Amino acid sequence: MIRILRQIFRTGIVTEPLPDGASEVEVVGRRLEEAVMRRFRRSITIRQVDAGSCNGCELEINAIGNAVYNCEKYGIHFTASPRFADLLLVTGPVTRNMETALKRTYVSTPAPKLVVAVGDCGGNGGIFGQNYASLGGVDKVIPVDAFIPGCPPTPAAIMQGLLTLLDKAPAK
């Protein structure tokens, strides 16, 4: 136990400091916090859906929750159920085999709801394109409010993308 405590104190807070440091993550995060507070009364809850990605985007979405980016600090939570979600964070390309599951997840999410497509493949199908098994971008299957490009987008880019959307979102 003493080792764990020591390690915690030794590590300290690794979340990057708020501006004047002008780190990309923090600028995004701070503006995001304002937007979150205004639109979503302090917090938004995200349900992530992998609709066919290569897992690259999932790694980076996971990373926004690590101690360095610490998305929870800005009121961004991930939930296990679409029923509790304000926002669906979807990666693509949407496969034919995931189409039904994605639509059902969308229907299960209560309105008002937002959909953000993450990654180049979620945007337009990326290198996989459209074929018998891949339907292409997320907007081919459900309405999308914002796209976050990148292959995969960096955690900082994902935070930036969420912010862009929240500024545009109608008041809740």
Contact residues for other proteins, defined by CB under 8 A: 3-4, 7-8, 11, 14, 48-63, 66-68, 78, 80-82, 93, 95-98, 101, 105, 126-135, 151-152, 154
Question: CB within 8 A of 145, min separation 6: which ones?
Answer: 114, 115, 116, 165, 168, 169
CB of residue 6 to other proteins, shortest distance in Å:
8
CB of residue 12 to other proteins, shortest distance in Å:
11
Beta carbon nearer to other proteins, 45 or 130: 130
Beta carbon nearer to other proteins, 56 or 75: 56
CB of residue 79 to other proteins, shortest distance in Å:
9
- Kindly report the length of the chain: 172
Helices and strands (H, E) in the chain, number of each type: 6, 5
Beta carbon nearer to other proteins, 111 or 132: 132
CB of residue 137 to other proteins, shortest distance in Å:
13
Enter the DSSP assignment of 151.
S
**For residues 100 and 128, is the Cβ–Cβ distance under 8 A?**
no
**Residue 115: which H helix or E strand, with range?**
strand 114-118
Question: CB within 8 A of 127, min separation 6: which ones?
Answer: 120, 121
- Count how many Cα atoms sit within 13 Å of the Cα of residue 70 in the half-sphere of its side chain: 13
Beta carbon nearer to other proteins, 27 or 63: 63
Nearest CA to 36 out of 105, 153, 114 is that of 114
CB of residue 171 to other proteins, shortest distance in Å:
28
